[in-house]
Structures are given as C-alpha cells and as structure tokens.
Structure 1
Amino acid sequence: MTKAATLQQALTRFLDPTGLDRQRQRVCTHLLACRTEAMGGMVLQCSDCAHVQPRYFGCRDRHCPQCQGRAMEQWAERQQANILPVRYYHVVFTLPHSLNGWIQLHPEVLHRLLFQSAWHTLRTFGRDPKRLDGELGMIAVLHTWGQNLSQHVHLHCLVPGGALGDDGRWRGAHSNYLFPVRALSRHFRGHMVSALRQAASAGDLHRVTRPGDVDAQLNTLMATEWVVYSKDCLEHTHAVVRYLARYTRQIAISNARILAVDDHQVTLRYKDYRDHDRHKQLILGGEEFVRRFLLHVLPKGLMRVRHYGFLANRCRRQRLVQIRQALAVVEQAPNVDTAASGTEPTYTCPHCKQPTLRMIGTLTPQRPLYDQPPNHKEQRYRG
C-alpha cells in the first residue's frame, strides 16, 4: 500500500455513508475516486523508451490530501509577492471547545462570526488613536483540527506590523506582540459572544433546541478566559506564509501521517505540543478515525481564506502601492507565470527517468460522481 492510498483505504474499510449529509457524501466520493479509474485520465507514452502508463485525474476537492499541491504553491507565491518590508505578526484566535457542538450544528454561522470577530478586534485596536491610528491589513486562514484530528477551531492571521493612516503615512508597530494579548482576548470574547447572542435572537441558531441552552452557554463563555496568541515573525515571515498555504486547500491529515491501516484500526503520527513537540503515535479505531476526519469537512461554498483591510481584494493593489511609496520602496514588476504559456506538459518516465512522457490518449471515467470537478479539461495537465 502506497502512502497516497492510505486515506482511501481507511475510508473504504470503515466509512458508513448512512446518516451522512450530502456534502460529506460528496467529499467522500471524490476522495475515494481521486487518481483512480473512476476519474478517468490520460495515457502517457515515453518518446525515448516507448514505456506506456495511465495517469488518472485528481478529484481537486479542497479536502483531498492528494490534490491542490500546485494551487497551494501558487497561493503562497502570490502572498510572497505582496510581502511588505515591515515586521509581520502571526496572530491566532481560538474558539473555546465548549462551542464545538454549535459549530457542528451551524458551521456557516459560527465560522462567519469567527472571521468577523477576529477582524473587528484587530481593526478596533489598529484604529485606536493611542495605538496605530490607521487601517490594518490581515490574511486569515481557518483551521479546524488538532494534531490528533480532534475539533480545534482557530483562525491563523498574518498581519503586517503597521497601519496606513488617513493622511497616507505608514505607522509601524515596534512591539514583539503587536497588541496586548489579554486585551485582544477579552475584546474578541466580548464581540463573539455578543454576535452569537444576536444570531440566536435572529433565529440563526435554530438547531440549538434545549431550553435555556443559549443563555447558559453564553454566560459560561463570558466567564471563561479565551486564548489569543500573537508573536512577531520578523525573521520567519516567508515560512509563516508557506505554513498557512498548507491549510488553504487541504484539511485534517496528510497521507504521510497515516502509518498503518488494518482491519480494525488506523495508526497516526502526531506532534504533541504539550510534551515539547515530541512526535508520537496514536491508534484510533477505524470508525473513530473516519468520524474525526469528517468533523472537518466544511460546508460547500464556505471560504476558508479571507483578506481584510488594505489587503482586501478590492483595494489591495492600490493600497500596497501607497504603502510602498510611504516606505520609499520601489514597486517591483510581478513575476510572469510561465505555467500558462500553453506549452505541452511533459512528465518523468519511471522507466528511463527522463522527462519524456507525453499524452497519446484519454481515459473515460468509469463511474459517475455526485458532481464533476470544475475545469475538468484543464485539470488533466495539473497532475
């Protein structure tokens, strides 16, 4: 069994589709079909040694550990091109685990309010005349799991250390934590709890049906210390971008972390952050592994990556020019994407080890899927 097949084998052995919602059924169908005859593909032949082999299409589902590698690299490259010559901060907003039940009941609502509350918190501190007195920028990536596949919902934010003032001047941050984390935590808690209360009053949390549960939960949340992490990454900004890129297109677990699958259980490798980041092994029953994995399937259409402030899509180009001018930095021309040049792709031949495999035919999908991935014609060249 290859590493690329470990998750598929676990799902094949232990997945029970009974009771799954349509989105989870669709995701599991895509993952099981990925890079198999079910997806169809193309026939490749080596122009040197005449070796012939099939190459099956990927499912391109954003939950798939085998797909989206190139998309992640391109995302990271775009963010690297926009890096400013300033101190950056890595800020993490974490939701208390007591909200996990509500997140499963209303994922769209809870995730939307998490993004809004995190940005409202940073924006409020950035606009404070006693602090930076200007507009911040933020890239936020949703992350829903811990190393052991448990539900651990938090938001990773990459924040340039400074604000663009209304007068066009750049006001840089100089601390090693951007803003006091205790103050950030309490503001974040207050805004999130208030937003949840408003959502409950508007009927957006209608699946929470036990009498008095909303008030009891929100009162408990206000009495709990919430966790916000903030640290500068002056020397590691590009590494943080690459770290965030890994979570823009995939979820929960990579095939490399699945060490073994047998008839009853799955063995994982994980990092124990509470024990000096030591690597350990975790053995889960097959059904429990599938249950934990499916906890992290996002609702269709939910955006996991969002940009705010002067990094928002509608104004980013103009704002970055203003900031670089304020910093007296010459604007660099964007790199040309040579991948879109229209040249025929080649692949490395496993027999003679030369990049001489070329497409000579196509393979028809063997069975229908819930829905076909987008841009299927273009997909054959992405690998």
Structure 2
Amino acid sequence: MIDMEYVSTHGIKLRDIFLDKGNWWKLFLKHHDLIRISIILNVLKLLVCRTSFLGYHQFVCLTCSRSMRVPHSCKSRFCPSCGKKATDIWIKNSLNTLPKTTWQHITFTMPEELWVFFWLNRSLLNRIPLIAGTIIKDWTHSKGFLPGIFLAIHTFGRDLKRNIHIHLSTTAGGLSPCHTRWIGKAYFYHESLKNTWRYTIIALLRDEFKKGLLTLPPHLRHITSYTLFNSWTSQFYQKPWVIHLKGQSNNMKANVDYLGKYLKRPPIGETRIKDYDGTSVTYEYLDHSTKTQEIMTLPVLEFIARLIRHIPDKHFRNIRYYGFLSHKLRGKLLPLVYNLLKMNRGSTAKVSLSWRDMIRTTYRYDPLVCPRCKTRMVLESVVFASDSLITQHKEIAHGYFPLLL
C-alpha cells in the first residue's frame, strides 16, 4: 500500500512547526478568546491536509493488485500545498483572460499609525479596495475611458509584521464610452493619486467615528468627541503617504506573478523558513529599504501568532476586479477589448489542475502509473471525511473543548 500524504519540497514544513510539542494548541489554549473562528478552521485544515482524516481516493493496479491511497486536500489558502495549487490556477487563468496591453502597477500605502484601525475594525478592510479602485476609475473617466483593474489587499510585509496596503494593476488605456475604440495610453500622476487616497482614507475613519462604529485602540480611548478625533486625524495630512508607481509595462505576466505570490498562499513560503530548533523559528525576508535579504528569529509561538493573524475572515476576497474586468461587465466587454486590441483568443475556459497534474509538473512522474508493472492504476473506492470530524472542528472553532471537560 502506497500512502501519499502531504508533500513539501522543502525540509521544514509549516504543519510540523504547528504540531511539534503541541505548539499550536499551547497558543490556542492561552489565547483562544482572541483567535477568530476563521483562523481556527484554517489551521485545523492545515493540520489534517492530505491525511486520511479528510478521506481519500484509493487506486489499484489491475495487473499486480498494488494499491495506492491518495488523501484529500484541505483547500485552505493557509496551507502551503493547497495554496500553491490555488496560486498556479489563478495565474494561469489570469494570463488566459487579461488583455495584452500596457499596464500600470500602483501600490497604495498609509501611515503605520492607521493600521490598527483596520485591524480592530475588520469590516473596513472590505472598504479600502473599493476606494483604490474608484480613485483609478474616476481619474480614467475624466480622461474618457474605462480601464481594466485588478487589485489585492495585503495585511502584512515580508517580515510578517502588520502592513496594510493595496497592490493595484490597471490598463494604461481602456474602452471609449461608446465601446467602439481603444483609448490609450494615459499617464497617472503621483501627487493627484496620493492626495485623493489620503483624503478618502481619513474621511472614511472620520465618518465611521461620527456614526459611533469605530473601535479605538486603548491609547486613544480618551478621544470621545468627533471634534477631538477630527483634530487627531488632521496630523496625517502632514505625514508621508507612499504611493508607488512602477514604470508602465507590457509585461503583464510580471504583475500577475507578483500578486499571485501573496493571494492564495500563507504569508510565508516554506522555502523562507531556514531553521526550527524546537523553541524558535528562523526565516529570511527581503528588506525593501535596503534591498537585501535579512534574517529574523522568533520564539515559535510568536512566529505562529504572526502568521495566523493574517488569515482572512470567511468569504473575504483578497482580490477584486473593477472596470471592464468587473464580474458584472467582463462577459460583455472583454470580447470587445480583445477585438479592439486584435488579440487572437483561443479557449477562455477556466484552467483547473488536478493533484495528478501538480505531481507530474513538480516531480516529473505520473503518480497513477504503477511503479512495479508500469500500467495505469484505476480508481477502486472513495472514502469521504466523517461528519463527526467536521462537527468537532466546528465545535472547537466556536469554543467547545471536549478534551478539557
């Protein structure tokens, strides 16, 4: 019997760090009242990914009777294995869909003192992608065209610390109002984008405070009136807001690959984890200010805490589409865009990758070919995850701990 469980191409697995010496459970039992349900469910999925707990497909060779069990995956974006598959699929589908034209990549950041408001008021994380997309749409509307925009919200930097920012890619041209011409290309002005972004973010926080909906961090709880909050936020008009515009490029793949690295995967790739000694984790990251690789070592529980806080809530969409790429308009407008740009389109059907495809691509062998007699193995049976396991996970996520009773 061959049992194909979780496979990592790197020596140190994220799952092993969580499981070793009960690290995850130590953190969970100590801080379970602070850990969101979505975090618990995604970590539990990681811990049982590609094990028999989630069920499995069993294949058999009809020639020699050799059998192979393929456990089911967890499909969590926090899982390195499932996240890589989701990333590869997203990249392939994006390259198959996005128009081949000039693109502009823009990064929207904010002063770090404001990050805490979005951390404490997580519903606001849903608002800032629309703000960034609307800024670009309004600006291009004044130039007489509708662009295609896709963007991603990130809550972390390379060092895993909090760092809320938006990565946005937009076509530098777009559709005319009558949808009969491609208008391009336009240039985006840094100062104008920065001023609008800064004003809109500050206005968002002020409006939420005025409605009584904004949770303040402990060090600002003394601010009880709108006048005081208005005065406190005024300082951010004098602080630097970094809006980075890369040079316009026809290399769409570079933008897609860059965003793809962060959309469907955990905040750190396993190849960046350099050492785990049972008490601390050492990992490397690229320091954007020095452009050099830096090394950081953290106690293991702090390392886990830094990772899990970036797990999004259920149904949260890290990537958004606007303009002619919006889900509402793309079916009608993308064919017009392809035609105006004289793009020969083949099939635009969504790409999917099976576990067999992934192994063939990564390891260069077919897992369904019997290693003994070289014939194709066939599906013998399917075993699904038990309802009791799923129910137990949900109970744990909601604070019920049967092991402690």
User: What is the alpha-carbon distance in structure 2 between the residues aligned to residue 353 and residue 98 of structure 1?
Assistant: 64
Task: Name the structure 2 match of 1:368.
Answer: 389
Task: Name the structure 2 match of 1:194.
Answer: 203
User: What is the alpha-carbon distance in structure 2 between the residues aligned to residue 27 and residue 234 of structure 1?
Assistant: 37
Task: Name the structure 2 match of 1:376.
Answer: none
User: What is the alpha-carbon distance in structure 2 between the residues aligned to residue 86 and residue 363 of structure 1?
Assistant: 47
Give the AA of the match of 1:119: G
Q: Contact 1:113/1:192 (CA < 8 Å) preserved in 2?
A: no
TM-score by length of 2: 0.79
Match of 2:174 among 158, 163, 175: 163
User: What is the alpha-carbon distance in structure 1 between the residues aligned to residue 357 and residue 90 of structure 2?
Assistant: 23
Q: Give the number of aligned pairs.
A: 362
Give the AA of the match of 2:284: R
1:71 aligned onto 2:104: no
User: What is the alpha-carbon distance in structure 1 between the residues aligned to residue 11 and residue 53 of structure 2?
Assistant: 16
Match of 1:183 among 184, 189, 192: 192
Match of 1:11 among 4, 18, 23: 18
Q: Contact 2:89/2:353 (CA < 8 Å) preserved in 1?
A: no
SS of 2:262's equivalent in the other structure is: coil
Task: Name the structure 1 match of 2:3.
Answer: none
How far does the alpha carbon of each residue in 1:138-196 deviate from its partner, in whole angstroms, 9 at most, with x for none?
A: 1011222211111111111111111322243322025xxx3121221111011111122
Q: Contact 1:348/1:354 (CA < 8 Å) preserved in 2?
A: no
User: What is the alpha-carbon distance in structure 1 between the residues aligned to residue 207 and residue 66 of structure 2?
Assistant: 64
Q: Contact 2:97/2:348 (CA < 8 Å) preserved in 1?
A: no
User: What is the alpha-carbon distance in structure 2 between the residues aligned to residue 353 and residue 243 of structure 1?
Assistant: 43
RMSD of aligned Cα (Å) = 3.2
Q: Within 5 A, what are the aligned runs for 1:1-383?
A: 3=10, 6-13=13-20, 14-15=23-24, 16-17=27-28, 18-19=32-33, 20-46=35-61, 51-109=66-124, 111-128=125-142, 132-168=143-179, 169-173=181-185, 178-206=187-215, 208=217, 210-212=221-223, 214-215=229-230, 217-276=232-291, 278-327=292-341, 329=342, 332-335=345-348, 347-348=367-368, 351=371, 356-363=376-383, 365=385, 368-369=389-390, 370-371=393-394
User: What is the alpha-carbon distance in structure 1 between the residues aligned to residue 199 and residue 255 of structure 2?
Assistant: 28
Give the AA of the match of 2:192: A
Q: Contact 1:133/1:165 (CA < 8 Å) preserved in 2?
A: yes
Q: Contact 1:267/1:283 (CA < 8 Å) preserved in 2?
A: yes
Q: Contact 1:164/1:170 (CA < 8 Å) preserved in 2?
A: yes
Q: Contact 1:347/1:355 (CA < 8 Å) preserved in 2?
A: no
Q: Contact 1:51/1:351 (CA < 8 Å) preserved in 2?
A: no
User: What is the alpha-carbon distance in structure 2 between the residues aligned to residue 353 and residue 88 of structure 1?
Assistant: 51
SS of 1:61's equivalent in the other structure is: coil
Greater helix percent: which structure? 2
How many angstroms does 1:236 deviate by? 2.3
User: What is the alpha-carbon distance in structure 2 between the residues aligned to residue 47 and residue 69 of structure 1?
Assistant: 33
How many angstroms does 1:103 deviate by? 2.2
User: What is the alpha-carbon distance in structure 1 between the residues aligned to residue 282 and residue 297 of structure 2?
Assistant: 4
User: What is the alpha-carbon distance in structure 2 between the residues aligned to residue 274 and residue 353 of structure 1?
Assistant: 56
How many angstroms does 1:60 deviate by? 0.6
What percentage of aligned pairs have identical amino acids?
A: 20
Give the AA of the match of 1:37: S
Q: Contact 1:108/1:302 (CA < 8 Å) preserved in 2?
A: no
How many angstroms does 1:28 deviate by? 1.6
Structure 1 alignment gaps of length 5 or more: 373-383
How many angstroms does 1:281 deviate by? 2.7
SS of 2:82's equivalent in the other structure is: coil
Structure 2 alignment gaps of length 5 or more: 1-6, 359-365, 396-405
Q: Contact 2:103/2:250 (CA < 8 Å) preserved in 1?
A: no
SS of 1:58's equivalent in the other structure is: coil
